[in-house]
C-alpha cells in the first residue's frame, strides 16, 4: 500500500511514559520516554526482547493503560482527552489482536457470539449479525459451520483467525498486533502473516506489529522501532535497518537471526548479548544497554544517550554515534 509520509501521521507517540509503582520506593519504568509516528497504511514493527515494554506501549496506544506522562495522538487528537462520542469512535477505529489466542477468547461464548459482540454493541440488528459474522469468518478463512462452535474446538491458528475476525468486525483502521503468531506452530505462522498482509491491502489497514524477533517483522514492516528496557534505541525503514544497523543492540539482535544459506551463515558473525535484560525497576540514568554492551565506556554508565538522526528517518540513541 502507498503511504503518504507528507501527511500528518495517524498515530503520534510523544515522549510516552508508563510507570508502575511496585513498592514504596520502587518504580517500574516499563515505557520511559518513547517517541515515534505511524502513518496511515503502513506497518511499523515494534521489536525487542520480552520485558522491554513493547506490549505496555501497545496497550497505552489503545487506552488499556493510561500513560503516566507524554501523549498519544490519534488522527491529531490526544486519546486521553476524547469526549464520550469520540471515545466510542476511537474504540471502533482502533483494535488489538492478542498474543495468546487460547486466553483471549471467552470459552463460554460461541464463535458467532464472539465475532458478533462488537456488531451488537454498534447497534446492528440481530437478523443482520449472522450474515455479517459469516462474511467475516470467510474473510479469515473459516466458514459458517464454525459459527456455533466454542473456542476449545479449534486449533491455535484457527483461534487466532477468530480473534482477527472479531477485530475486523467493527471496521477498524488501525490494528495493534501484539505478537499474534508467537504462540502458534511454525507451520501456521506464515499463513497468519500472509493473511494479515492480504487484509491490509484489501481493507487499507494500518498496523503496529509487536514482535520479539526482527526476522518476523522484516517482510511485513515499512519501518521498524527497536526497544530496549523501556526506551527506543533505533528507528529506521526496514530496508535501512537490515542493511545498515547502527545500535549495538540492533546489531546483536540481527546477528541472532538464523541464516538459511550456509555460505552466508559462515560469513556472518553472531554477536552474543551477554547476561540478562536488567530489571526496569528504578533504572539508573545511563544507557540501559551499558551492562551488556561490548563497546560500553565509562560515559555509557553515567549519561543517557540522546536520539540522533543519522540519515533521514534513521534515528539512533548511542554515544558511539557522536564519533
Ligand atoms: Fe553501548 Fe554505550 Fe552505545 Fe549504550 S551508549 S549502546 S553502552 S556504546
| 198: phi then psi, degrees, rounded to nearest 5 | -65, -45
Specify if 264 maps to a domain. Answer: yes
Specify if 1 maps to a domain. Answer: no
In 3-state terms, what secondary structure has residue 160? helix
Residue 78 C-alpha cell reads as 490526544
Distance 296 CA to ligand 1 centre (A): 5
Q: Could you tell me what percent of the chain has a pLDDT over 90?
A: 75
What CATH number corresponds to the domain at position 71? 3.40.50.300
Query: Is there a contact between 234 and 317 (Cβ–Cβ < 8 Å)?
Result: yes
Please give the Cα distance from 204 to 168 (Å, whole number): 12
Residue 294 C-alpha cell reads as 561490548
Query: Based on the structure, what is the number of domains in the chain?
Result: 1
Specify if 45 maps to a domain. Answer: yes
pLDDT of residue 264: 59
Query: Is there a contact between 231 and 33 (Cβ–Cβ < 8 Å)?
Result: yes
* Average pLDDT value over all residues in the chain: 92
Residue with CA at minimum distance from ligand 1 atom 3 = 318
- Does 301 sit in the ligand 1 pocket, CB within 6 Å? no
Distance 270 CA to ligand 1 centre (A): 18
- Does 172 sit in the ligand 1 pocket, CB within 6 Å? no
Query: Is there a contact between 187 and 157 (Cβ–Cβ < 8 Å)?
Result: no
Nearest to 306 by CA among 296, 316, 294, 293: 316
Confidence of residue 199 (pLDDT cuts 50, 70, 90): very high
Please give the Cα distance from 58 to 231 (Å, whole number): 14
Residue 229 C-alpha cell reads as 528496557
Q: Per-residue pLDDT tens for 220-263? A: 899 999 999 999 999 999 999 999 999 999 999 998 776 666 66
Specify if 64 maps to a domain. Answer: yes
* Largest Cα–Cα separation, the chain: 68
Q: Which atom of ligand 1 is nearest to the CA of 299?
A: 2
The residue with greater pLDDT, 40 or 1, is 40
**Mean local confidence (pLDDT), 189-209:** 94
pLDDT of residue 101: 75
> How many residues does this entry show for the chain?
323
Distance 301 CA to ligand 1 centre (A): 9
pLDDT of residue 233: 98
Specify if 242 maps to a domain. Answer: yes
Specify if 4 maps to a domain. Answer: no
Q: Per-residue pLDDT tens for 4-20? A: 999 999 999 999 999 99
Q: Could you tell me what percent of the chain has a pLDDT over 70?
A: 96
Confidence of residue 103 (pLDDT cuts 50, 70, 90): confident
Segments in the chain forming alpha helices (H): 54-61, 84-93, 111-121, 126-139, 156-168, 186-203, 214-218, 238-243, 248-255, 262-267
- Does 317 sit in the ligand 1 pocket, CB within 6 Å? no
First to last CA, the chain: 38
pTM of the model: 0.92
Task: Return the beta strands (E) in the chain as ranges.
Answer: 11-21, 27-38, 43-47, 69-74, 77-78, 94-97, 174-178, 206-211, 223-228, 231-237, 307-311, 314-317
Residue 14 C-alpha cell reads as 510523544
- Does 300 sit in the ligand 1 pocket, CB within 6 Å? yes
Whole domain around residue 271: which residue ranges? 11-322
pLDDT of residue 9: 97
CB under 8 Å to 107, separation ≥6 — which residues? 150, 151, 152
Specify if 5 maps to a domain. Answer: no
Distance 317 CA to ligand 1 centre (A): 8
Confidence of residue 213 (pLDDT cuts 50, 70, 90): confident
Task: Return the beta strands (E) in 192-242 as ranges.
Answer: 206-211, 223-228, 231-237
Specify if 185 maps to a domain. Answer: yes
Sign of the CA dihedral 168, 95, 230, 247? positive
In 3-state terms, what secondary structure has residue 74? strand
Amino acid at each position: 500500500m502507498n503511504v503518504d509520509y507528507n501527511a500528518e501521521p495517524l498515530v503520534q507517540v510523544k515522549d510516552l511514559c508508563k510507570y508502575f509503582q511496585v513498592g514504596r520506593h520502587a518504580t517500574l519504568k516499563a515505557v520511559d520516554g518513547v517517541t515515534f509516528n505511524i502513518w496511515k497504511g503502513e506497518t511499523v514493527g515494534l521489536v525487542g526482547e520480552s520485558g522491554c515494554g513493547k506490549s505496555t506501549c501497545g496497550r497505552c496506544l489503545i487506552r488499556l493503560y493510561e500513560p503516566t506522562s507524554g501523549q498519544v495522538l490519534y488522527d491529531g487528537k490526544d486519546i486521553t482527552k476524547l469526549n464520550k462520542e469520540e471515545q466510542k469512535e476511537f474504540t471502533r477505529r482502533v483494535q488489538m489482536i492478542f498474543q495468546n489466542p487460547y486466553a483471549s477468547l471467552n470459552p463460554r461464548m460461541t464463535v458467532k457470539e464472539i465475532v458478533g459482540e462488537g456488531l451488537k454493541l454498534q447497534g446492528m440488528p440481530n437478523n443482520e449479525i449472522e450474515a455479517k459474522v459469516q462474511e467475516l469468518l470467510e474473510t479469515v478463512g473459516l466458514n459458517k459451520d464454525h459459527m456455533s462452535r466454542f473456542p476449545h474446538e479449534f486449533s491455535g491458528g484457527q483461534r487466532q483467525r477468530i480473534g482477527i475476525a472479531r477485530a475486523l468486525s467493527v471496521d477498524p483502521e488501525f490494528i495493534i498486533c501484539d505478537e499474534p503468531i508467537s504462540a502458534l506452530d511454525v507451520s501456521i505462522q506464515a499463513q497468519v502473516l500472509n493473511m494479515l498482509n492480504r487484509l491490509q491491502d484489501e481493507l487499507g489497514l494500518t498496523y503496529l506489529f509487536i514482535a520479539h524477533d526482527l526476522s518476523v517483522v522484516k517482510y511485513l514492516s515499512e519501518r521498524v522501532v527497536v526497544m530496549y528496557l523501556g526506551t527506543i534505541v533505533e528507528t529506521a525503514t526496514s530496508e535501512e535497518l537490515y542493511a545498515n544497523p547502527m545500535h549495538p543492540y540492533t546489531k546483536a539482535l540481527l546477528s541472532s537471526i538464523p541464516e538459511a544459506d550456509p555460505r552466508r551463515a559462515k560469513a556472518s558473525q553472531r554477536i552474543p548479548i551477554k547476561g540478562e535484560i536488567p530489571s526496569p525497576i528504578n533504572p539508573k540514568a545511563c544507557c540501559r544497554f551499558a551492562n551488556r554492551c561490548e563497546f560500553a565506556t565509562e560515559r555509557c554508565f553515567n549519561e543517557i544517550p540522546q536520539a540522533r538522526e543519522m540519515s533521514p528517518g534513521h534515528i539512533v540513541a548511542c554515544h558511539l554515534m557522536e564519533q
